[in-house]
Amino acid sequence: MGRDIDRASQRASQLRQKLEHHNYRYHVLDDPVISDEKYDHMFRELVVLEQEYPELVVSDSPTQRVGGEPQERFQKVEHHAPMLSLGNAFNGEELWAFHKRISKLLETDEVDFATELKIDGVAVAVTYENGVLVRGATRGNGLVGEGVTANLKTIRAIPLKFRKGVSRPEIVEVRGEVYLPVSAFNRMNEERAEAGQSPFANPRNAAAGALRQLDPRMTALRPLAFFAYSIGYVAGMSFKTQIEVLKQLREWGFPVNAHHRHQEAMAEVVQFCYDWERKRDSLDYQIDGVVVKVNRLDYQDRLGVVSRDPRWAVSYKFPGQLATTRLLEIRINVGRSGALNPYAVLEPVQVGGVTIRTATLHNEDFIRRKDLREGDVVVVKRAGDVIPQVVGSVREKRTDREREFRYPDRCPVCKAPAIRAAGEAMAYCTNRQCPAQGLEALKHFVSQGAMDVRGLGPQTLEKLLELKLIQDPSGLYLLTEEDVAQLPSFKEKSIANLVSGIEQSKSQPFHRVLFALGIRHVGESIAGLLAAHFADIDPLMEAGEDEISSIDGIGPEIAGSVRNYFMAEDNCGLIERLREAGIHFQSAQKALKGEGPLAGKTFVISGSLPTFSRAQATEFIESQGGKVTSSLSSKTGFLVVGESPGSKLEKAKQLNIPQIGEEELKTMAQAKSKL
């Protein structure tokens, strides 16, 4: 027993170091060197070790990012130093006025600056003692914030401890911004719309709401991110410039926004602000301006603070992104779950440099509450600077010719009755065979984050349905090159690419397959929770609502939706057809339990495989119970050989290790019994 726990302790320590290293490469250096699947595999191995040997669990283990019971309320936390607000500048002239003020106070024109993008998120302060995270809080009123330590620990970009080998002050308070990436925000709103829930107004609100969850497990369901931008307090260290502070934060292991700059003159600062005003939409996170700071910290001390605004910094604010136009028509889009989603057709208008022609109207209650009518002059904004949204109508411009919108009681596509249940925000088409639902379900199935079938866009899907080459997602896996050749504009290379893309999608992990099924209320996060709990679709299909809702993060409404999905005969038929086509309805977690047709077998991969990438081949083998290593040894069971295998092929021959190709690997995985 002693040796077992010693080995487990050593392996757990190795895994923690590796996970911390790869977390740093991903979030700080933006240079990952392993796939997400490989990271997840190491993480799961650590989880299993800590479950088997609870005495090995330490507070700064990556597995402890989500844990503990929900809080009854947030404790008040006093900041080590005030978190100050900033004065604003709205144009170049006001930036030059800021420069004139500080030059006069410092009695010199020789002032340099640090310019940083102003992330539109939630300001927080995280405190470390001897390099270990001990406390996290929101800004609050600048003097006292709310303690949200457990919630901040769920954000992988915030280090639980400083990197090995760097200076570790006794106490340091780091300030930064928690934000929600735009791509994640869009996915979440699509899922909420499909589920009949009101969308989040913007990424900042969604991030703020996540941080104020009393249960950190709910916070963890939102893919929050973080940028550090300053040190509020530090014991035993000093810095000369803001640029030096940012460099130190990065060395400790914090992600620092890559677009900060050291500017020698105010003319460079002004140009930087103007440039980012034009480029703001190129980022996957929201910015609402640029923060301009005097770079030298001794100058900052000399300039001091007026009221609660520092004299040494100013926030250049981008102009608002609002416009007025005419609402020509209100139309209905039918989602994959049958939800009747209203949207506005607008007279084209420029908002923030983008031409807007349509905008979301959320649901019937939104239209009624805003009293929106066809023909109205309306105010439009890019909600969160991304999704076009109608703010309201300009009622003084009404002419009495505007038309009130009547929400349909039948599906506009198949004409089946549409029913809005009590408590629901949306009405739903009652026809399971509705063509619009089928098309939207296919779009979702092949989308990024689900099966991720490259080269299969909406128009191609429509044509496949029109030609009756497919009827549901399972039909994709029966397509031949001859079938695809019937599509307009598809030539030899595009045909081969599409068929290859469909084949590669078979290797997607279980949680992505679950998400691809389009079960109502089951987004990417919920699919991950279900896959982690059940590890195989068969017990999930048989599970009752009580068992499903017992999973942390899943409530009765979601559990009922999941149960209803698997009770439908046509859904079960689809799953069987997908299974027959080679889709894997089993989690890689089973590999950790020694289950699956490849259990007990060790593989090494060499060369380029026909349809699998290296990461996909690894995920495939692990999902079937096998193990993948990077180097050959006498214990290696098989070398999986692709094109240009290199020296590993010769070594395998010397060690008498069997060599197999991709097709042989798939055949082994389909075996009914262990080899």
Please name which of 132, 127, 135, 211 lies closest in space to residue 174, comparing C-alpha atoms: 127
Pairing of strands 638-641, 602-606: parallel
Question: How many Å apart are CA 120 and CA 181, to the nearest integer?
Answer: 10
45, burial (CB in 10 Å: exposed 0-12, middle 13-18, buried 19+): middle
Angstrom distance (rounded) from CA 180 to CA 210: 10
Of 263, 269, 260, 276, residue with least CA distance to 93: 269
Q: Which residue has the tokens 């595009």?
A: 494
Our answer to whether residue 118 is catalytic in this structure is yes
Residues in the chain: 675
Sort strands 313-317 and 287-294 into parallel, antiparallel or unpaired.
antiparallel
Cα–Cα dist 437/609, whole Å: 36
Q: What are residue 481's phi and psi, to 5 degrees?
A: -60, -30
Q: Which residue has 């549409």 as its token pair?
A: 418
User: DSSP characters for 401-418?
Assistant: --EE----SB-TTT--BE
Catalytic residue (one of 18, 38, 76, 118): 118
Q: What are phi and psi of 233, to 5 degrees?
A: -160, 140
Q: d(Cα 150, Cα 154) in Å, to the nearest integer?
A: 7
Q: Which of 496, 395, 498, 515 is nearest to 454 (CA)?
A: 498
Taking the C-alpha atoms of residue 228 and residue 248, their distance in angstroms, rounded to an integer, is 11
CB 119 within 8 A of CB 179: yes
CB 201 within 8 A of CB 383: yes
Give 127's strand partners.
135, 173
Q: Where are the beta strands (DSSP E) in 273-319?
A: 287-294, 305-306, 309-310, 313-317
Dist CA 352 CA 587 (whole Å): 44
Q: Are strands 377-383 and 322-334 parallel, antiparallel or unpaired?
A: antiparallel
Q: How far is it between the farthest Cα atoms of the chain?
A: 88
Q: Measured in whole angstroms, how far is the alpha carbon of residue 452 from the centre of its chain?
A: 15
CA atoms within 13 A on the CB side of 175: 21
* Residue 170, helix vs strand vs coil: coil
Catalytic positions, please? 118
